[in-house]
Structure 1
Amino acid sequence: MSEETRPQRIHNLDVTVWVGKRGIDAVTEELNGQLEETDLVKVKFHRAARGGTDTETLADDLADRVNATVVETRGHTAVIER
């Protein structure tokens, strides 16, 4: 059986971090812990978290806080890697 390609891994990831009305401050520690366990984490930004900001901006801010990189954003979801 062959290994998944990177795009397949990203596609098959489940969302494990949800950003809600409490914003990215509330999930920074959780995301940091998950990135210590695995290299890719999928994050969903709910409407209450976005306010007047777009997903890309929030994802970049969150990734910066945990010394990571945004791999991709699609809709209201981002994949972050460290």
Structure 2
Amino acid sequence: MSDETRAQRIHDLEVTVWVGKNGPEAVTGELDDQLDDREFVKVKFHRAARGGTDTETLAEDLADSVDATVVQTRGHTTVLER
């Protein structure tokens, strides 16, 4: 797969996991399941989840908890792969 195709696929992803006031721990099971079924998963961090922490830190912590890698972070959204 070319990098251009990969970049386009990542760009076209819909958000399928939302992290809210219960924090990243509340979505690890769902995220783990989705990563088993998909190459990439797009995650959105709502304001209540961020609470003074930046999105990059939250994304890295979430990725570590499901043995995944952060592919891209933009704004309050991140893309993970395994």
Q: Please tell me the TM-score bracket, short chain as reference.
A: over 0.9
Instruction: Give the Cα separation in 2 of the matches to 1:71 and 1:8.
Output: 13
Aligned AA (1:12): D
Deviation track 1:29-61 (CA, whole Å, cap 9, x = no partner) reads 000000000010000000000001000000000
Q: Does 1:69 find its partner at 2:69?
A: yes
Please give the alpha-carbon distance, in whole angstroms, between the structure 2 residues aligned to 1:77 and 1:48: 14
CA RMSD in angstroms, aligned pairs only:
0.8
Q: Which has the higher helix share?
A: 2
| Superposition deviation, residue 15 in structure 1 | 0.1
In 1, the alpha carbon distance for the partners of 2:60 and 2:39 equals 16
5+ residue gaps, structure 2: none
Deviation at 1:76, TM superposition (A): 0.2
Any runs of at least 4 consecutive aligned residues in structure 1 with deviations exceeding 4 A, and if so which?
Answer: none
What amino acid is the match of 1:44?
K
1:52-72 deviations in Å (ceiling 9; x for gaps) = 100000000000000000001
Q: How many pairs were matched up?
A: 79
Structural mapping, 1:1-82, within 5 Å: 5-82=5-82
Q: Which 5+ residue runs of structure 1 have no aligned equivalent?
A: none
| Structure 1 counterpart of 2:34, one-letter code | Q
TM-score, normalised with respect to structure 1: 0.94
Identity %: 75
